[in-house]
Amino acid sequence: MTDLSNIEKALYSYLPQDHPLLRNLISSMEYSLKAGGKRIRPTLVLEFSRVCGGTDEVAMPFACALEMIHTYSLIHDDLPCMDNDDMRRGKPSNHIVYGEDIALLAGDALQSLAFETMSKSDTVSKSGAEIAVNCINILSNYCGAVGMVGGQVIDLEHENKETTIDVITRMHHKKTGGLIKAACEMGCVCGNADKEKILSARKYGENIGLAFQIMDDILDVTSTGEKLGKPIGSDKENNKSTYVSLLGIDKCRELVEKYTSSAISALEVFDNDTTALKEIAVKLSKREK
C-alpha cells in the first residue's frame, strides 16, 4: 500500500516559494493542501501505475497535480455561494480563515499549479511527452465543464427541487466520480497500460466513486460533525435530494456493497497484484468518516 508520507512530501514540494507580496495567498494554498484528508486520489494514481508496471517516480507529479485539483474544488465548494460550509476536515474552511476573496484565488492558483506540475520539464523528462499530454488531457476533461464542474452545476441547480435517482447518479458520476476516474486512468497511462486496462480502471473508478458518494450521504445522516470534521445534515438543510432521502439507508447500504463488488470485479483484467486496490474499495465502503 502507498506510503502517504511520500505523497505529502512530494505534494508540499510543489508549493510556490514564499514571497512578501504573496504571503497571504501562498499561506491560504498551503492551509488547505496541508489540511489532511485520505489522499485517495493520488493513492489511486500510484497504485494503478504500479499494477500496470509503472514507477512512482513517473506517476508522483500527476498524483500530486490531481490532489491539487481536488483541494481547489473543496475550497470553492465551501464558499458561501456554493455549499456555504464553515468547517472542513475538522478545521475552519479556507474562506473563514483567509476571507472569500483570497480563498477563491487560492483555489484558482492551485488549479493552475496542477497543470504547471504536470507540464514541468522535469516531469516530462521522466514520463515522456506522450504520457504527460495524455494525463493532462484526462485530468482537464474530468475536472471541467463535462466533469467535476458540470456536476457541481447540476448540484446547485437542483437545490430546493425534487429530482430523480437518475439525475443524482449523473451528477455524482461527474462531481464525485470525475476525479476518482481520472486518478485510475492517469495511473494506467503512467504505466503504459493498454486500452482494455484503462477502460477497466475507469469502471473501477465509476463504481467506487458511486459507493463513496452514497456513503457520504449515509454519513451525513448517521454520523457526527466531530467524526466527519465538517457539518452534518447539510444536505437536508439545503433541501437537496440525496440517495438516502430517495431510497432510504438500508437500500443505500445495499448499493454500496453492489458498487464495491463491481469495482473489485473490474480488476480481474490486471496481471499484477491488485490487493491494495481491492483493500481501498472495501475500506471506502466501510468508512465512518
CATH of residue 32's domain is 1.10.600.10
pLDDT at 161: 83
Asked if residue 225 has pLDDT above 70, the reply is no
Please report, as a single letter, which amino acid is at residue 1.
M
Please report, as a single letter, which amino acid is at residue 233.
G
pLDDT at 133: 98
pLDDT at 269: 97
Domain, as residue range, for 131: 4-285
| Separation CA 284–CA 260 (nearest Å) | 9
DSSP codes of every residue in 118-162: HH-HHHHHHH-HHHHHHHHHHHHHHHSTTTHHHHHHHHHHTTTS-
Average pLDDT over residues 246-250: 94
pLDDT digits (tens, 9 = 90+) for 116-144: 999 999 999 999 999 999 999 999 999 99
pLDDT at 263: 98
Average pLDDT over residues 232-245: 73
Other beta carbons less than 10 A from residue 22's beta carbon: 13
pLDDT digits (tens, 9 = 90+) for 16-50: 988 889 999 999 999 999 998 899 999 999 999 99
pLDDT digits (tens, 9 = 90+) for 60-110: 999 999 999 999 999 999 999 999 999 998 899 999 999 999 999 999 999
Angle between helices 129-143 and 177-190 (to 10 degrees): 170
Other beta carbons less than 10 A from residue 280's beta carbon: 22
pLDDT at 52: 98
Asked if residue 229 has pLDDT above 70, the reply is no
Average pLDDT, the chain: 93
Residue with the three cell numbers 490532489: 67
H or E stretch covering 107: helix 100-119
| Residue 220 · residue 240 · CB < 8 Å | no
Average pLDDT over residues 163-171: 93
pLDDT digits (tens, 9 = 90+) for 173-207: 999 999 999 999 999 999 999 999 999 999 999 99
Please report, as a single letter, which amino acid is at residue 130.
E
pLDDT at 36: 83
| Separation CA 259–CA 239 (nearest Å) | 26
Number of domains composing the chain: 1
Confidence band of 257 (pLDDT split at 50, 70, 90):
very high
**Which three cell numbers, joined as nine digits, stand for 223?**
454520523
| Separation CA 135–CA 141 (nearest Å) | 10
